Structure 1
């Protein structure tokens, strides 16, 4: 699969606080599904990445990840 989001398997989402996403299709014949590959680079440099059916679901997963990340930071 050709993608603009990775180079040699490494995410091109390098700038802190940014997101990149790309739709792609998987499956054979009539059983094709459209999915979204999503990358988010946090302001601390950590990368969040997921694949979900919609961009909204990806952003919801990112928000849950950010909430959990904040919880861990508060305990320090």
Structure 2
């Protein structure tokens, strides 16, 4: 599948603090589902990536990841 978000399987989300997302369909015949592929590059350079049914769910998962990440940094 050709996508604007990857080149040879590598995310094109390279700038720190940015997000990229893209909708795509999966399934056969009438059982098609629309999903969102989501990438977020944190300010420290770490990449968060997920696939969820909606953009809001992707952002909620990102926020949960950021909260967990902050918790780990505080324990150091």
TM-score normalised according to structure 1 size = 0.99
Aligned to 1:30: 30
Whole-Å Cα distance in 1 between the matches of residues 39 and 22 of structure 2? 9
Shift of 1:12: 0.0
Give the distance between the partners of 1:48 and 1:2, measured in 2 at CA.
20
Give the RMSD, CA atoms, in angstroms. Answer: 0.2
Instruction: Note the alpha carbon deviations across 1:12-43, whole angstroms, 9 max, x for none.
Output: 00000000000000000000000000000000
Q: Look up the SS of the partner of 1:13 in the other structure.
A: coil
**TM superposition outliers: structure 1 runs of 4+ over 6 Å:** none
Measure how far apart 1:2 and its partner are.
1.2
Per-residue deviation, residues 25-73 of structure 1 (Å, max 9, x unmatched) = 0000000000000000000000000000000000000000000000000
Unaligned runs of 5+ in 1: none
Q: CA deviation at 1:74?
A: 0.2
